[in-house]
């Protein structure tokens, strides 16, 4: 259930950040949803890593979830501080490279449709974070493309997945 909870807010933040990249909303308005999502996912990370019953699986989940939490906190900080995002761009490369073997392992270990879906999500997130690397660290002129990919993946990998999980349909 906590995965659905976090994914639902990941969907919200990606949709809002995508709209921002597309110029539909002002950058100051994305701070709140990025902070909320960082706090929600951060609480789950703390529970998974340090809570009662923490084990290798929950610590692995916390480790990977913290990549997302850190990203959203960093986006909020950049919007608040006026930083140019290059550091976040390089961190995004770290996330993208990390997500590739996570996706490969998830595909290898998948025995259900839901597990294949999550493996595909990891692959999609690797692509998305690589786009952020290109946009922020290397300054490629792909803001519009990154905005659309962010928006679409927010709907498909976060919002929809999270909703289906919290409703017990996935």
125-169 pLDDT, tens digit per residue, is 999 999 999 999 999 999 999 999 999 999 999 999 999 999 998
Q: What is the per-residue pLDDT for 145?
A: 98
CB crowding 15-26: b at 16 or more within 10 Å, else e: bbbbbbbeeeee
pTM as predicted:
0.95
Q: Give the start-to-end residue ranges of the domains of the chain.
A: 1-167
3-state secondary structure 79-92: HHHCCCCHHHHHHH
DSSP track, the chain? -HHHHHHHHHHHHHHHHHHHHTTSS-GGGHHHHHHHHHHHHHHHHHHHHHSTT--HHHHHHHHHHHHHHHHHHHHHHHHHH---SHHHHHHHHHHHHHHHHHHHHHHHH--SHHHHHHHHHHHHHHHHHHHHIIIIIS--S-HHHHHHHHHHHIIIIIIHHHHHHHTT--
Tens of pLDDT, residue by residue over 26-78, are 999 999 999 999 999 999 999 999 999 999 999 999 999 999 999 999 999 99
Q: CATH fold of 1-167, please? A: 1.25.40
Instruction: Note the pLDDT tens digit of each residue in 71-107.
Output: 999 999 999 999 999 999 999 999 999 999 999 999 9
């Amino acid at each position: 259930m906590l995965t659905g909870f976090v994914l639902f807010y990941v969907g919200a933040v990606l949709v809002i950040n995508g709209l921002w990249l597309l110029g539909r909303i002002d950058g100051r308005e994305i701070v709140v949803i990025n902070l909320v999502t960082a706090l929600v996912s951060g609480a789950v990370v703390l529970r998974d890593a340090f809570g009662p019953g923490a084990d290798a699986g929950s610590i692995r989940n916390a480790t990977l979830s913290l990549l997302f939490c850190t990203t959203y906190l960093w986006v909020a900080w950049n919007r608040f501080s006026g930083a140019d995002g290059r550091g976040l761009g390089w961190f995004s490369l770290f996330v993208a490279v990390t997500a590739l073997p996570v996706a490969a392992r998830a595909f290898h270990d998948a025995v259900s449709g839901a597990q294949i879906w999550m493996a595909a999500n990891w692959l999609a997130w690797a692509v998305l974070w690589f786009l952020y690397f290109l946009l922020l660290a290397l300054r490629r002129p792909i803001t519009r493309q990154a905005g659309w990919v962010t928006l679409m993946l927010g709907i498909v990998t976060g919002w929809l997945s999270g909703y289906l999980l919290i409703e017990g349909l996935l």
